[in-house]
């Protein structure tokens, strides 16, 4: 049986043009073109070297993604870029080397939005396809107030695609009066 990550990637890629573009639906019926790019897979040797270097074990669902794509870009503007960068092992290594002292032990950044907000995997609790090892926050809040997504990587990815790149995890936190106050 295909995994969630395999099914999500396959369905997403079926929606894309050969240039990696599709329409993204946003609030109140508007839409725009967005672009997706995916890197070639990481080798098992690269994955093993990374885990050995940092003395961590990566969760199975994230390993599966790396074996398919070693990073990429989601929901970027075709003209301006942006979106979510799914970090390659090389990029994770660079960031982890720089921010190691700021991060809780065993936490690795796996995605970044606009250079400010990060998606982290807590590798301390890895057990198969652990469902609660993902956190979202700004780097400055990683020790004080990270938001648990109550998901693993493949569930986050699936939900993120379904939500058209919107932060679905914040939808329930926003009261109607706040939504209407800040709508464009």
Residue among 86, 80, 79, 75 at smallest CA distance from 22: 75
Domain ranges (residues) in the chain: 4-182
**pLDDT for position 139:** 86
CATH value of 4-182 in 3.40.1580.10, 3.40.50.300, 3.40.980.10, 3.90.550.10: 3.40.1580.10
Q: What is the pLDDT of residue 45?
A: 97
Per-residue pLDDT tens, the chain, 184 aa: give them.
688 999 999 999 999 999 999 998 877 778 889 999 999 999 999 999 999 999 999 999 999 999 999 999 999 989 888 899 999 999 999 998 888 888 998 999 999 998 789 999 999 877 666 667 899 988 888 888 898 888 899 999 998 998 888 776 666 556 677 667 766 5
- CB atoms under 10 Å from CB of 159, counted, come to 15
Give the distance from CA 41 to its chain's centroid: 16
Q: Identify the pLDDT of residue 37.
A: 97
Do residues 126 and 57 lie in contact, with contact meaning Cβ atoms separated by under 8 Å? yes
């Amino acid at each position: 049986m295909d995994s969630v990550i395999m099914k999500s990637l396959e369905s997403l890629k079926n929606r894309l043009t050969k240039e990696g573009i599709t329409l993204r639906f946003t609030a109140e019926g508007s839409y725009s073109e967005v672009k997706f790019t995916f890197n070639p897979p990481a080798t098992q040797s690269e994955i093993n070297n990374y885990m050995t270097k940092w003395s961590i074990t990566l969760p199975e669902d994230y390993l599966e993604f790396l074996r398919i794509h070693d990073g990429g870009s989601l929901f970027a503007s075709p003209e301006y870029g942006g979106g979510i960068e799914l970090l390659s092992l090389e990029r994770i290594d660079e960031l982890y080397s720089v921010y190691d002292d700021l991060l809780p032990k065993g936490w690795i950044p796996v995605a970044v939005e606009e250079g400010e907000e990060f998606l982290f995997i807590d590798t301390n609790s890895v057990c198969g396809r652990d469902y609660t090892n993902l956190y979202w926050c700004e780097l400055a809040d990683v020790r004080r107030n990270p938001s648990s997504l109550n998901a693993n990587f493949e569930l986050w990815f699936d939900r993120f695609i379904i939500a058209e790149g919107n932060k679905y995890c914040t939808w329930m936190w926003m009261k109607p009066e706040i939504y209407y106050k800040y709508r464009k």
